[in-house]
Chains A and B, each alone.
Chain A
Amino acid sequence: MLPWNYGLHWTLGTMVFLGAFYTVLVVVATTLVSAVVRSRRSLRAGGADGLRWRSDFHDLAARDRACRHQLTGELECRECPNGFDCRQCDTHRAILEQRPAPEPGARSVEDFGMTFPLDRLYHRGHTWVRRERNGTVTVGLDDLGRVLVGKPDSVDLPRKGHRLRLHATAWRMRKGRAGLSVVSPVAGIVVETGGPDQPWYLKVRPEQADLRHLLEGIEVRPWLAREMERLQRALMAAGAAPQPVDGQATLASLAASCPEECREAVCGAMFLRP
């Protein structure tokens, strides 16, 4: 195998054969090592969070990856190619330009026993973001998240001055045996912290003003309907009793039917990660 092996005669056949073998070994080892190196580099650059979000996105069934514009009916059928991050999406920009101005009357969406005010933007991870006049944004948990989690036993908020990364964990909550983390809808520095007793959780100075990846206006109601569907499916998969599908189902009743031990799994399905 090695050139100095006693009695090993190097013919053309031997050289071709062992050459091929060593080449394969080198290719496999190099590939493996480069994967290790790249992953360490990515970890150091904080890529793990974005990867987690993208990985959760890929785990969704195809119908759950529908583009926000399919939800509103503006597009016939489109699967999101960007992991719900609409900031780079050309289709999103084009449609936004063509969208008519929002009606001034509507102030909030009320459905399934929840209220979703329209003065704020919504993240798919069930947090809302409201732009404040001083350039900061306020971040909170939306009604669906709030009812699903219930009253948390403990909340682990980030310190003031902590740097939030987009799609990283914004804050953690514990309820019973379930530990849940909330996905951060923005990237920025935490300026103030609130809590479950207050109407908001965090005030953040965002790194960029671009909040196009968040849902707004006419998108909220169809998104909510889809989320309720997903919740029903997640509950059934977790073994809850099936609920009547007749619009009378409220979020509260659904959440009540969720067995305690499945809370983590169900919340995980709704992007409130374990």
Chain B
Amino acid sequence: MISEKKPGKICRYGMAIDLDKCTGCGACMIACAVENNVPPANPAATDLTGITWLRVFKVDNGEEYPRKESVYFPMMCQQCGVETPCYLVCPQQAVDVDPSTGIVFQMPERCLGCRYCMAACPYHSRYFNWWDPKWPAGMEKTLNPDVAPRMRGVVEKCNYCHGRWHAARERAAQAGLKDIIPGDYVPACVEACPAGAIEFGDLNDPASAPAQAAKDPNSFRLLATLGTEPKVYYRSKRPWAKRIGDPSQAPGSKETSRG
């Protein structure tokens, strides 16, 4: 690991997402883009060449009306905790796993743009800057000064609003505390969600929402059998939704049995 261990508590930040609460409004996606200075899409961008650090999918149970059901599925970097694929494959060590927070963060200044990490990520949560970022005149006033915009030809992804973590640490340091004040650091999407579907916390803290979600029988993680130990726990009471994370349910599998 490149980062040095910082003094203070060792956290493992994760998320708990309640699929039964998510309405698919997309406020989280907008908050994410605004917070992290994601440029507006180029006119020629498509569904697969735009940048959406956080993206909400609509997933169906595969049935027809009247038994058709859907959930809205917010997807971001799953912050893999073990054998982090993108971290292991980057030839320049432009990906770092911070031991103090467990956050997998990307260094666009060091990124060569080889896109090997994008091939390695099973969650497709990494995005490439296919165009030069361009903000319409006047819109540069909306840029967040705490987050560096990226250049063309590098990869970027969700980093749990790392700028906000730095800001929280500064506030804690100014208050004379060693650790971040609990609740002072939340990523933009968590703050913006009107339904409170996304919850954020430290998995090492048994009282936090993600830690409790981890123990909840209705919780699941995506592609858990791959062994990457993602830190995002999805929760749903609906039995078919609980199987979304199961790889053999991937489209094309003969065992698809939703509903």
A247 within 8 A of B: no
A9 within 8 A of B: yes
Cα distance, A188 to B1, chains bound together (Å): 73
Cα distance, A9 to B2, chains bound together (Å): 7
Q: Mark B82-124, 1 if CB is under 8 A from A, else 0.
A: 0000000000010000000000000000000000000000000
A100 within 8 A of B: no
Residues of A within 8 Å of B1, CB to CB, are: 9
Pull 4 A–B residue pairs with CB atoms less than 8 Å apart, ordered by A. Answer: A7-B2, A7-B93, A9-B1, A9-B2
Residues of A within 8 Å of B2, CB to CB, are: 7, 9
Cα distance, A194 to B143, chains bound together (Å): 93
Residues of B within 8 Å of A7, CB to CB, are: 2, 93
- Chain B residues numbered 1-59 whose CB sits less than 8 Å from any CB in chain A: 1-2
Residues of B within 8 A of A (CB): 1-2, 93
Cα distance, A7 to B1, chains bound together (Å): 9
Name which residue of chain A comes closest to B3, CB basis.
A7
- Chain A residues numbered 136-157 whose CB sits less than 8 Å from any CB in chain B: none
Q: Determine how close the nearest CB of chain A comes to the CB of B88; give it in whole angstroms.
A: 12
Q: Which 4 A-B pairs have the closest CB atoms?
A: A7-B2, A9-B2, A9-B1, A7-B93
Cα distance, A192 to B57, chains bound together (Å): 100
Q: Mark A1-33, 1 if CB is under 8 A from B, else 0.
A: 000000101000000000000000000000000
Name which residue of chain B comes closest to A7, CB basis.
B2
Cα distance, A9 to B3, chains bound together (Å): 10
Q: Determine how close the nearest CB of chain A comes to the CB of B100; give it in whole angstroms.
A: 16
Cα distance, A7 to B109, chains bound together (Å): 15
Cα distance, A9 to B4, chains bound together (Å): 10
Q: Determine how close the nearest CB of chain A comes to the CB of B205; give it in whole angstroms.
A: 29
Residues of B within 8 Å of A9, CB to CB, are: 1-2
Cα distance, A9 to B1, chains bound together (Å): 8
Q: Determine how close the nearest CB of chain B comes to the CB of A23; give it in whole angstroms.
A: 21
Cα distance, A7 to B93, chains bound together (Å): 10
Cα distance, A9 to B97, chains bound together (Å): 14
Q: Determine how close the nearest CB of chain B comes to the CB of A4; give it in whole angstroms.
A: 15
Name which residue of chain B comes closest to A9, CB basis.
B2
Cα distance, A63 to B11, chains bound together (Å): 81
Q: Determine how close the nearest CB of chain A comes to the CB of B53; give it in whole angstroms.
A: 25
Residues of A within 8 Å of B93, CB to CB, are: 7
